[in-house]
Each structure stands twice: as structure tokens, then as C-alpha cells.
Amino acid sequence: MTKRDNTRIDPKIDPRINPRGRKVKILATIGPASRSPEMLRKLFKAGADAFRVNMSHGNHDDHAKAIKAIRDLEKEFARPIAVLADLQGPKLRVGEFKEGRAVIRHSGHFTLDRDPTPGDETRVCLPHPELFGIMERGQRLLINDGKIKLIVKEADKERIFCTAEVGGVISDRKGVNVPDAEVPIPALTDKDRKDLAFAVQHGADWIALSFVQRPEDLAEARKLIAEHKGTNTALCAKIEKPMAVNRLSDIIDMADGIMVARGDLGVELEPYEVPPLQKKIVNATRRAGKPVIVATQMLESMIESPIPTRAEVSDVANAVYDGADAVMLSAESAAGEWPEESVAMMNAIALQIENDEGYKERVRLLETRPDATTSDALAHSCMTIADTVPISAITVFTSSGSTARRVSRERPDTPVLVLTPSVRTARRVALLWGAHAVVTKDIGSFEEMIAKGKRMALRHGFGVAGSKQIVLAGVPFGTPGSTNVLHVVTLSGKELDARGE
């Protein structure tokens, strides 16, 4: 293991916080309804394991205050909390209209052009020159979240002439989706570059990249993260474009994690195409051993109602059954009337599903074959041992988090206690299925490893005297990726007499 970070989570209250009792994680979006330190504290206590800072809304001052409040919660509860900064991405929009709006007739003609003159019911400016010349006859343009559907009839470098398959009211600056073409624009705008720099400088643990179409988009973002010295900042690719699905494997390889962003994905695809695609993305990411987040409209009605619909509960339940690492709340926690109740409801749903007698079988329906490495073989063995012998915890010593990801990929029935000297690693692990991270001092010997593993398991509620525990680590210590030791020990209860971490 490497030298521990200078940063340290210094608890102000009893640090022996028991784990949540569930394996799937909850990611809550911060917004006007939840930005205050008081509400963030309520959301954390209700079950939030990580917080999403939506860079599409608010300003840097607001975001900086929210991140500070989250770090204060870490100190208060001695619990690592992940911060995910979600970049806005290159949102395409139409120009403006003479009267602020117009009506496109069903089956009528409508033209998108490069003329900046305010539009009317027959045309409007499309201030994105990169779209002209790539559109082809028969391709779709979806406006205002798909409420208006245009079919391209003719296109050149100056105009895109369409027929309205579905007409309706169109107004200034409405969004445009292009589901049938790979748009030759970078995934990072000037705003995104500034927001990324801010997020890295303020210690964001994850950067979520919007509207990813190709793996090269991620390469550019990763280069920028490195330039801002965000060596420990993880990169999450949001899958919300059909073009990204075509290169899903390459994108997963380039990313540290994946978000199934069902909002725009549901606009560019037929609604009934999204559920099987969601399962495909979740499964592919799980096989790669990387965290996958299911997001958007999970408890949408709780923006205004204190209880969700039965269909929404089933939606969250299915994501949990599918083995997603995390489920996300968007407007429910950011701008809704019931942010605390939304988190508490998601927590209750997850607990109920994970206590279902069929959950273990369902979550392991996906075969995740270990790679031909010692580390993967040992991680797989942890699950096999835990299925055979009563085990209270799988305790993983890691500096980078890679060993924890390998164990989590197997979806063991036993909780995973992650011990790391790096607070940044602990925060990233906060989005990992089944993992409970604790920041602790580094170790220097096999004997110290075993003693610390026992002590931390007892101290953090992962066993009692007489419980068996699996300890997984790499020897020699301080060599990332060298996991080669698996040891089964029995807790005696005497370990708590030791002082320090």
C-alpha cells in the first residue's frame, strides 16, 4: 500500500458507524431544495452515500459551498462520501422566434437553417454549423425532449428541409436531439472545461461526462483532468446517445464507471427500447468490474408527492435486482418538495429488495468470469468461501481501490470492508456495490494486517467475537495491483483492546 494521504477524516463523534445494511448505493442530486448544510445532513442520514453536483445549474460559488458542507459531514460521521460533478455537455438548441414561439403543423414543412434572423412557423436558425452537411434524408431531428419530431427530406451545408411527423409548439432555445447521426462536436464545451477545472480543484471524486458518443471523448476529458492534477479523480461516461451504445465496449474500457442516463436516451429511442438497453449497459459494465449507475426519473412523482407510484418503486427494484452499483435521484432531491423522503424511500426499497430471498440468485444471474490473473482468482475465491463458510466480512486492504472492485464484481452475499490509507480512494469506493470504506493508517507487515483487519471489522460492526473474516491484500505492501494473499481468520473480541487505527 502507498503512503496515506495527508487528508484525514477526523471524526467528531463516535466513529463506530454501522454500515447501511444494503449493498446498492444511493446518489442524490444537489439543488435548490437540498443545497443547505442542514438538508444535506438530512439526506445523508436518510441514506445518501454520494452526492451529484449538476454543473448545468447553479454557479461555482453555490457548488463550492455544497462540497464544503459534504466534507464537513465526512468529519462529523467519519464516513467517506463521494462527490460526482456532472458536466452539462454540448446541448444542441434552436435559435429564437419573432414572437418567442411558433406552431409547426403536423405533416407540414419546416426548415432549419444558418440565417440568424428570428424564426416563424416555417423556419428557424440552428446555430450549430457542424450539423449542416452531415444530415441525410430519412434521419430524425427531435425537438423539446422529443415532443416535436422532424424527418429530414433534403439537407446541404446551408439548410435542413424537414417534414413534421409530429408537430406542435416550438419556442426559443429548445433542445435538439439527433439520434441517427454521430454529431462531429467535442463532448466538452468551453463551459465544461471551466466546470471540470473547478470540480477537480474542489476535490470532486468523479467527473461525469455528458453526451458521450465515442471513446475519444473520454480521452480528451481524462487529459484535462490530468492537466489539473486530478490524478485521483475518476471519470464516469454517461450513456445517453444511441451512437454511444454502438461503441459501448470501447467506452467502458476508457471510463472508470458508467451512468445509464435514461432521460436523453429515452428521447432518442422509443420508450420500449430503453429497458432492455439499460440491462445491456448494466451487464456490460458489471462484467468489466466497474461501477454502473442507473439514473433519471426513478421516483419522479416524488418531486411533488410524498409517496411514489407503484411503477416507480418497481423501476428502482429492478435496478437493484439487476445488480446496479448505484441508483440516482435527480430533481426528486434537487428541486422537489420531498428531498429527504425521496432518499428515505429509495433506501427502504433497496433494503426490502436485498432482503428478498430471491435477491442473491437474481443478482448473480449475470456470469462475471474472473480474468486470468491471481488478483481476480482470489477475488472470485472470496465469494466461493463466503458461500460455503459463514463469513461476517470480506476485508480488503487496498491503495487504489482495484482489489475492492474485483471483489465487488462477484456480488458476494457478504459485505466488503475496504481499508485504505487514501481518503480519495475511500470516497471513490462510496459508489461501489457492497463496499464500506474506512480510512486507516497504512500497514507494514502480515501480522499487522491481520490484527488491523480484525480490529476494524469489530469496530465498524462487521462481526462479533467468534465470527470468521476473509482478509485480502497484496504482499509486498505498497505495490498496487499485487493482490496475492487470502487469509481466513476468527475474531476473538480482544482486538478492540488495541488503540489507534
Write the DSSP assignment of 156-171 as a string of letters: -SSEEEEEEEE-EEEE
Q: What is the DSSP letter of 494?
A: G
DSSP-derived 3-state class of residue 329: strand
Catalytic residue among 22, 23, 41, 52: 52
Q: Cβ distance 170 to 144 under 8 Å?
A: yes
Backbone angles phi, psi at 432, to 5 degrees: -100, 130
Angle at 88 between CA 84 and CA 295, to 5 degrees: 55
Which candidate, 472, 342, 496, 489, places its Cα nearest to that of 1? 472
Q: Hey, which residues does 363 pair with through a beta bridge? A: none
Tell me if residue 114 is catalytic. Answer: no
Catalytic site residue from 140, 174, 238, 290? 238
394 and 416 Cβ atoms separated by less than 8 Å: yes
23 is catalytic: no
- CA angle 105-108-109, nearest 5°? 125
Sheet of 483-490, strand order: 435-439, 416-420, 393-397, 468-474, 483-490
Is 238 one of the annotated active-site residues of the chain?
Answer: yes
Among 4, 35, 42, 93, the active-site one is: 93
Relative to beta strand 234-239, strand 206-209 is parallel
The conformational region for residue 366 under phi > 0 = left, psi -120 to 50 = alpha, else beta, is: beta
CA 330, CA 303: separation in Å to the nearest integer? 9
Check if 373 is active-site: no
Q: Specify whether the CB–CB gap between 293 and 260 falls below 8 A.
A: yes
- Cα Rg of the chain, angstroms: 24
Number of residues in the chain:
501
- Grid cell of 172 as nine digits: 426559443
Active-site hit among 29, 233, 285, 296: 296
Catalytic residues: 52, 93, 238, 296
